[in-house]
Structure 1
Amino acid sequence: MEIRQITPAIGAEITGVHLGDAARDPALFADIKAALLRHRVLFFRKQDITRAEHVAFASGFGKLEDHPVAGSDPDHPGLVRVYRSDNPHSYENNYHCDGLWRPNPAMGAVLRCVECPEIGGDTIWVNMVKAYEELPDDIKVKIDGLRARASIEQSFGAVMTPEARAKLAQDHPPAEHPVVRTHPETGEKVLFVGAGFSTYFTNYSTPANVRHGIDKAPGAALLLNYLISRATIPEYQVRWSWQRGDIAVWDNRCTQHYALNDYFPAPRKMERAAIVGDIPY
């Protein structure tokens, strides 16, 4: 197994490994997991694996989760088909952490490229540890202890009927998370808000933060938007141009990602196995 670091901040390409073999080899799997904790997202070119091997490899990290809107492959529970072929609309072209709307957002994911356009359709990943580490000190003090609400209702639910949207929100009520979480394995501090699902701070309106009405909702929104914008800093990013058979494995606890929607009407078909995560603290 050879590891090539791609950027100083995040990402590495691994060669000399077949992920089907890694699913059956605990020592090899452990080496890949160690590389994931170090580089946060790993890329594997031209992996000729079956859906069963895809699921088996992802399951090495933990139990797989379903998705309430996208659904899973009927023969492989937990394998979500993210197919874009006849609709220019996309939910993935914003910086987001998968499942932030859950009480326990995904630990990570294994994404396989089934079909991709000749040009376009890249994906960007962001190191949200650096996004926190390089915040100004006064901002770190201000957000210490802050918590934020995250919801699926205003994202996936936006194109639904009011009745269906209300049902989605009822089945998956908003979650509340720390704005700065601690990575459970590395102990690193992570900026944990994202454009896809974060809606507002739940404990911002205190005497320490609010003097007048303009400090309340507008002041909180400006701060939240500033924190969300940290994911757009190029120095924290790696960008991957897909080829058929490529696989990306990422740690969802300390990264965000953005799937570019610049390829319509060409098809882009991906299959993702997401791993159930812990409750952030």
Structure 2
Amino acid sequence: MTHTSARTRIHAEPLTCTLGAELHGVQLGDAARDDALFAEIKQLLLRHKVLFLRDQDMTRAEHVAFASRLGPLEDHPVLGSDPDHPGLVRIYKDLDSRPEHYENALHCDATWREHPPMGAVLRCVETPEVGGDTIWVDMAEAYRRLPDHIRAQIADLRARHSIEASFGAVMTTDQRHRLKARYPDPEHPVVRTHPETGEKILFVNAFTTHLVNHHTPQNVRFGQDHAPGASLLLNYLISQAAIPEYQVRWRWTPNSVAIWDNRSTQHYAVQDYWPAVRKMERAGVAGDRPC
């Protein structure tokens, strides 16, 4: 069902039965300056988890201003940010850059932080004529549809997340060790609670390396229950994000924008377009400690 606001005339068109809605009749540059308009978009974000808009002819300053209404922005320790607009990360894949593979994995942004991002606002600057789509996944729905015995088994489990094992993998040993010293592997619950909606969320992804409290008498009868038993369980949980019924896929056009709740979703940037050029700009919003 399409949601329409009488005051702002925003039309929110759901894109799947699970998550994602395309907004019509609104410019984010205006929402950066209008409290009521922003508040309505925020409520739609909580409802649909990822919002999409086309033809958003906004400046970088307006991009940053809108994202900043969601919370403080943060730099990326590897990618950096635009020198004139702190917190705005340029994700440019062109002929002068090699293909990178940190995006084409199902992941929740920066869970290798103690406080992973709350969300992000991503704008398309340039995209291939065909290809370069992005997929988002509803991890609250993934949790809800787990078998009952799995939900019971993982209720109190915790896991480690690592920047060293992902971004650090292409670095020299010294660089990798310095990166890990700056961002020690945090421990997060396997099931987190959304701080605003109260939803339970399956919170493991491509940055998750291992379960930290699985080796107990209740879970481990013999060593094989721990290794490979614990890693098989983790792999099963991570694999839930690949289920199409939990996903929405967005085809980019220049000046289209996606806004997502990083606490309840994962995403995957499809790298099927090389050597075509794809240029994106993202403002990441700082978040809280998962619990």
Instruction: Tell me the TM-score range normalised by the shorter chain.
Output: over 0.9
Partner of 2:239: 229
Alignment correspondent of 1:174: 185
Which amino acid in 1 is paired with 2:28?
L
- SS of the residue corresponding to residue 216 of structure 2 reads coil
1:25-174, aligned counterparts within 5 Å? Answer: 25-85=34-94, 86-174=97-185
Q: Which amino acid aligns with 2:231?
A: A
2:143, 2:135 → 1: CA distance? 18
Structure 2 distance, partners of 1:90, 1:58, is 26
Counterparts of 1:101 and 1:107, CA distance in 2: 13
Q: Compute the displacement of 1:89 (Å).
A: 2.4
C-alpha displacement at 1:262, in angstroms?
0.4
1:198 lines up with 2:208 in the alignment: yes
Structure 1 unaligned blocks of 5 or more: none
Give 2:197's aligned residue.
186
Shift of 1:90: 2.4
Q: What is the CA-CA distance between 1:273 and the residue it aligns to?
A: 0.3
- In structure 1, the residue matched to 2:4 is none
Matched, 1:5 2:14: yes
The amino acid across from 1:172 in the alignment is Y
1:277 paired to 2:287: yes
Amino acid at match of 2:265: T
* Alignment partners' CA distance in 1, 2:149 and 2:164: 33
Q: What does 1:13-28 align with in structure 2 at a 5 Å threshold?
A: 13-28=22-37
Gaps of 5+ in 2: 1-9
Aligned amino acid, residue 251 of structure 1: D
Among candidates 249, 258, 265, match of residue 248 of structure 1: 258
Identity percentage over the alignment? 66
| 2: CA distance, partners of 1:217 / 1:166 | 26
C-alpha displacement at 1:88, in angstroms?
2.0
User: What secondary structure is seen at the aligned counterpart in 2 of 1:224?
Assistant: helix
Partner amino acid, structure 2, of 1:275: V
In the TM superposition, residue 46 of structure 1 has moved relative to its aligned partner by 1.2
For 1:13-69, what per-residue CA distance to the aligned partner results, in whole angstroms no more than 9, with x for missing partners? 001101000000000000000000000000000100000000000000000011000
Q: Distance in 2 between matches of 1:200 and 1:267?
A: 35
SS of equivalent to 1:24: coil
Question: 1:87 deviation in Å?
Answer: 1.4
* Counterparts of 1:12 and 1:101, CA distance in 2: 28
Supply the AA of the counterpart residue of 1:201.
Answer: L
- Give the structure-2-normalised TM-score: 0.96
| Aligned mates of 1:233, 1:18 — CA distance in 2 | 33
Q: Distance in 2 between matches of 1:268 and 1:205?
A: 44
Aligned length: 280
CA distance in 2, matches of 1:181, 1:221: 20
Give the TM-score normalised by structure 1: 0.99
Q: Distance in 1 between matches of 2:25 and 2:98?
A: 37
The answer on 1:212 being equivalent to 2:183 is no
Residue by residue over 1:213-258, the C-alpha shift from the partner in whole angstroms, topping out at 9 and shown as x without a partner, is: 1111200000000000000000000000000000000000000000
1:238 equivalent to 2:251? Answer: no
SS at match of 1:169: helix
Greater mean alpha carbon deviation, residues 110-119 or residues 81-90:
81-90
Per the alignment, in what secondary structure is the counterpart of residue 77 of structure 2? coil
Question: SS of the residue aligned with 1:30?
Answer: helix
Cα distance between partner residues in 2 of 1:268 and 1:201: 36
